[in-house]
Amino acid sequence: MPPHTVILILFAVSGLVVGSFSNVLLIRTAKGKPLDGRSKCPHCKKVIAWYDLIPVLSFVLLGGRCRRCKKPIGLRYPLTELATMILFIAAYLLHSNNLPLAIMTVIVFWGILLVTVFDAYEMMIPDAFTAIIAIGALGTMWLEQQFLSPLLGACVGAAWFGFQWLISRGKIVGSGDIFLGFSLGLWLGLSKTIPMLAIAYMTGACVGVILIAMDRATRKSRLAFGPFLAIGAFAAYLGVGDAYLQLIGL
């Protein structure tokens, strides 16, 4: 088997394993519980056997239900595992010629996923998850020996949300958004931070309008902004942001 294929498989398997751990991390952080201890069914509270914790496969074999109480298992569990695997594979394919950079990208992608899922469900962004993005961004900056653009991007990202936090006294955005803007700007650099913000706000506005039109929200409803920043960050990183800004004349 070619080395490239072996490494790709390792990234994919690692993604599934980390995705499984991500579920534990997300759920227990939301509930304020420690990370140690066996996983239990949220319905019957019975300890889940190791063979029922195999990422994705166990969900399929169990038909999406607990082995003991037969209550449904949330679809978010296998979806988070699959999403993590896809992001790990994407990170390697983007930097298959530079394994250290691929690993740093994996770290950033994982942090973004944690922030996105947690914010979508809990409407807040733990600094610990954002710190993962910052660590990957610092590693990327060191590997690429690029310092000025990342630091300027971090300043722009932090200043943008810091200004909104200041004038609204924390009502429009939270302090977690400031750290997230800083970390994503540090990763993307100045040239991609602005497209990230533009895409995030445009996407958020479009979704907001659609939800209002469907009577699923009002003008005063709050939307988790982390997922839109994630969309903007990925688009900007892949260069989609540049083409998007040119299309709308910015």
Can you give the C-alpha Rg of the chain in angstroms?
Answer: 19
Model confidence pLDDT, tens digit, residues 128-138? 999 999 999 99
pLDDT band at 249 (very low <50, low <70, confident <90, very high): low
Q: What is the per-residue pLDDT for 242?
A: 66
Average pLDDT of the chain to the nearest whole number: 89
DSSP the chain: --HHHHHHHHHHHHHHHHHHHHHHHHHHHHHT--S-S--B-TTT-PBPPGGG-STTHHHHHTTTB-TTT-PBPPTHHHHHHHHHHHHHHHHHHHTTT-HHHHHHHHHHHHHHHHHHHHHHHHS---HHHHHHHHHHHHHHHHHHT--HHHHHHHHHHHHHHHHHHHHHTTSSS-HHHHHHHHHHHHHH-HHHHHHHHHHHHHHHHHHHHHHHHTTS--TT-----HHHHHHHHHHHHTTHHHHHHHHTT-
Q: What is the per-residue pLDDT for 234?
A: 94
Q: What is the per-residue pLDDT for 174?
A: 77
Q: What is the per-residue pLDDT for 204?
A: 87
Q: What is the per-residue pLDDT for 125?
A: 92
Q: What is the per-residue pLDDT for 216?
A: 74
Q: What is the per-residue pLDDT for 171?
A: 73
User: Would you call 38 helix, strand, or coil by DSSP?
Assistant: coil
The CA-atom distances, in angstroms, between 193 and each of 50, 77, 230 are 42, 31, 12
Q: What is the per-residue pLDDT for 248?
A: 53
Q: What is the DSSP secondary structure assignment for residue 50, as one 8-state letter? A: G
Both tokens of 214, joined, read 């469907």
| 83-92, 125-134, 161-170, range with the lowest pLDDT | 161-170
pLDDT mean over 64-88? 93
Q: What is the per-residue pLDDT for 245?
A: 57
Residue 71 burial (C-beta neighbours within 10 Å; 0-12, 13-18, 19+): exposed
Model confidence pLDDT, tens digit, residues 142-157? 999 999 999 999 999 9
pLDDT exceeds cutoff 70 at 241: no
pLDDT exceeds cutoff 70 at 73: yes
